[in-house]
A and B are shown apart, each in its own frame.
Chain A
Amino acid sequence: DTGVSQDPRHKITKRGQNVTFRCDPISEHNRLYWYRQTLGQGPEFLTYFQNEAQLEKSRLLSDRFSAERPKGSFSTLEIQRTEQGDSAMYLCASRDRSRDKLLNTGELFFGEGSRLTVL
């Protein structure tokens, strides 16, 4: 079990540049989530996927943000024309909804996060 993997772990960019983060969930997990966390705050929901379908997007996700999960495996989160307010930790999580119905924990498995600093 390799867990949820995120890449890169750290990214420093200049305002106005585009950045892309990748998340590889646990292999049998069909649900994948993106959260954003700033210092001293809890994770804020951005979006989630059931396999390759994006089922929900937060109002926090402006038009500059786009997420994909082609083929229902890994996911990418792209931020275009970055702003200093985008500086945060971007967390990915996954769960196996089918298995979870049996175990009934609702547990999300989080990755280590991708920290973005926009200068």
Chain B
Amino acid sequence: EDQVTQSPEALRLQEGESSSLNCSYTVSGLRGLFWYRQDPGKGPEFLFTLYSAGEEKEKERLKATLTKKESFLHITAPKPEDSATYLCAVRPLGNRDDKIIFGKGTRLHILP
């Protein structure tokens, strides 16, 4: 069964303290891995898509990387406004289904 597991569930960092969030996935084939940001009471907001192992994408203080079994979201020198839940999701390969499977997310809290 296709599955996405994110760790840690929650992370508290001081402003400026860099860290990484992990997303491990089990799929029969990968058509894309996605990172979304979700603020409380809002819908998820798209950040990145990664398609193949070795690929990297960057946006401001965030960098996403992909291996054959996991993805990392690196956050460099975070600011309080980076506090949110970060969701990882995968689109499995191989059938007509277009569903994207989400992990439970990592709640990130940046302390000023």
- On A, residues with C-beta under 8 Å from B are 4, 31, 33, 35, 40-45, 48, 50, 55-56, 58, 91, 93, 97, 104-113, 115
Contacts and interface: CB of A to CB of B under 8 A. Distances in A.
B102 A106 contact: no
A1 to B, nearest CB: 14
A55 B44 contact: no
Nearest to A10: B41
Interface of B: 4, 6, 31-32, 34, 41-46, 49, 51, 87, 89, 91, 96-105
Given A105-B49, A106-B49, A48 B98 contact: yes
28 contacts: A33-B98, A33-B100, A41-B104, A42-B87, A42-B89, A42-B102, A42-B103, A42-B104, A42-B105, A43-B44, A43-B102, A44-B102, A45-B100, A50-B98, A55-B96, A55-B98, A56-B97, A56-B98, A58-B99, A97-B98, A105-B46, A106-B31, A106-B49, A106-B91, A107-B46, A108-B44, A110-B43, A112-B43
Contact of A107 (B49, B87, B104): B49
A42 to B, nearest CB: 4
B21 to A, nearest CB: 13
Contacts of B46: 105, 107-109
Contacts of B41: 112-113, 115
Contacts of B42: 112-113
Looking at A43, A97, A107, A113, which has the most chain B CB atoms within 10 Å of its CB?
A: A43
